[in-house]
Amino acid sequence: MDDIYPIATKKVSIPRILVKDVVTAVFLMASKAKKTGYDIIFFPKAGGLPLKYIYEHGVVREQYSTIKIFSSKVTTSSKSALSKQICGILSPTEREWGLTKRQIDDFNKVVAKLPSVSRKELLQSMDINHLEQYNLCEVINNICDIGLYVPSEDKANWVKAGIISEVNHSPENDSFKKFQNFKKAMIAYSLDRIPDIIHNVRPLLNIVLSRTNFAKALRNNKVYVMDEAISRGRTLNVLEIIFKAFNQDAIWKIGVLFCPLKAAGRGNVDFVLSQNNIPPFSNRFDLIGEIVVESDVAFASYDIAKLLSHRKTIISKSDHERVIEYFQNIRKYIRHTFSEFLEPGILDENDLIRLLHFIFVCNEKTIIDRCIGLNPTQFSGLIEEVSFYINMPHPFDPMPIRKRYKDGIISFLEYYKKVPLKNPVKNELQRFRKKFYYIKKYYELLELQSWLERYQNTKSMIDSILKHQKL
């Protein structure tokens, strides 16, 4: 019993980019970056980590040894605070740094020149007369969003540009073709408006971040970002904001495996491998080998192999049999009791089992909601959350399919919440919860083993391809 959950056949599955083509793309991007003088390569976590592995194990040669490599979590600002994404680039030591006397003096000089609205907001957020009491992350958290305006994230601008109509509706509810057209229009608009992003406290961020390793690297070098995909262009805005928080003159380009728009050569986009096939690693921590989740300050990373070694336990035959029996019983119960929530090819019994396990270890709906929104959070039920997360529809699958899945999950959550405590269904689910905790450590061990095996198979495939790949 290697995988607890059998692989399900989903209704719609867009073709994935082949791993051999991913390897080729990384080599092409590395060559382009080197030839055009980009001496920093940046890999966004977690989707960029397989690209980083390919780069470090296949591309790096003597002539590439001077290139600096950075990697951290970058996502849309609607999913995670910009302050956390900036702090994510810092080392743990840098996060605890205080400001020097010179930085404090420069900080106060810039504050005096801020627009009145931004200055007022800053004074309300922190005591600038005692800047010595703050560490770097505290300063960044207090000032990061002040005076920030991103034109391509203002829906009024979408209407003016003809991207959406004045009728208030969500593009996600449109057909697959219409939503694809919306995404293409958004990417084009975002690329063209990146230079117009306004960030009044950017000079302040330049001051407080000036001593960090990434800021020092940016002083004389350009950044080449290698990532999985551009979906709507929102992460492009975040890259611009983050890089220029470290250096106002930062120059960067991005190469990606997938973008629905033919965008190579436009704005900051340098390379696009495919407009049709989607990346194979998106949101698949089990294939990436590292779990990246949001924490209080920035992000936390968990190596699957290390997680497994920490939980290593000898599983007896009886333990194995209890896990098998538990899954047989809960599958039978879900098919019999919750058939109205199941939709073949969209939401199957295993999806509900994973959701129930998530609920069993997490009584905070906000955490479940964030996970559904593709933003996992650090908490004690890491394995159950990730099990649910990696099995959701691919983020680039058609929106109508993803929406039907999400609607079904939300519908079940609402049902679960409304079921009275003394209801037979709630009683039975509580009994399953008790049984789950009885087998929980063995279940988690089996999950980690299956994830590690998938990752090792992926890595072996990449290593085999790299043996025959030439730069």
72 within 8 A of 242, measured Cβ to Cβ: no
Residue 320: pLDDT band (50, 70, 90) is: confident
Instruction: Convert the pLDDT of each residue in 147-200 to its tens digit.
Output: 999 999 999 999 999 888 877 667 767 777 888 888 999 999 999 999 999 999
Please give the average per-residue pLDDT across 381-408, as a whole number.
Answer: 87
Contact 99, 139 (CB under 8 A): yes
Q: Is the pLDDT of residue 13 over 50?
A: yes
Q: How many CB atoms lie within 10 A of CB 27?
A: 17
Lowest mean pLDDT among 54-68, 108-122, 287-301, 309-323: 309-323
Q: Residues 134, 136, 137, 142: what is their CA dihedral angle, to the nearest 10 degrees? A: 60
- Of 205, 191, 203, 197, whose CA–CA distance to 256 is shortest? 191
In this prediction, residue 12 carries a pLDDT of 65
Predicted TM-score (pTM) of this structure: 0.92
> Which of 83-92, 228-237, 302-311 shows the lowest mean pLDDT across its residues?
302-311
Q: How far apart are CA 378 and CA 389, in angstroms?
A: 13
C-alpha span between 466 and 61 (Å, rounded): 13
Band of residue 317 on the pLDDT scale cut at 50, 70, 90: low
Q: How long a stretch of residues is the chain?
A: 471
What pLDDT is stored for residue 169 in this prediction? 66
**Of the ranges 231-235, 246-250, 319-323, 326-330, which one carries the lowest mean pLDDT score?**
319-323
Query: What mean pLDDT is reported for the chain?
Result: 91
CA distance 233 to 161: 16
The C-alpha atoms of residue 8 and residue 132 are separated, in whole angstroms, by: 56
Q: Given pLDDT bands bounded at 50, 70 and 90, which one contains residue 1?
A: very low
CA distance 3 to 449: 8
DSSP labels for 392-412?
Answer: SPPTTS-HHHHHHHHHHHHHH
How many helical (H) and strand (E) elements, i.e. helices and strands, does the chain have?
A: 20, 9
The arithmetic mean of pLDDT across residues 4-15, rounded, is: 75
Three-class SS of residue 376? coil
> Across residues 85-104, what is the average pLDDT?
96
Q: Are 329 and 400 in contact (CB under 8 A)?
A: no
Distance from C-alpha of 259 to C-alpha of 255, rounded to nearest angstrom: 10
Measured between alpha carbons, how far is 383 from 444 in angstroms, rounded to an integer? 6
| 402 pLDDT above the threshold of 90 | no
Closest CA to 232 of 293, 292, 170: 170
Question: Tokens for 365?
Answer: 């709906």
Provide mean pLDDT across the span 66-78: 92
Least confidently predicted of 99-103, 219-223, 317-321, 421-425: 317-321
Contacts of 48 (CB under 8 A, 6+ apart): 71, 226, 227, 228
Q: What percent of the chain has pLDDT over 70?
A: 96
Q: Is the link from the previous residue into 263 a cis peptide, with omega within 30 of 0? A: no
Q: How far is CA 96 from the centre of its chain?
A: 25
Tokens at residue 214, please? 């990434």
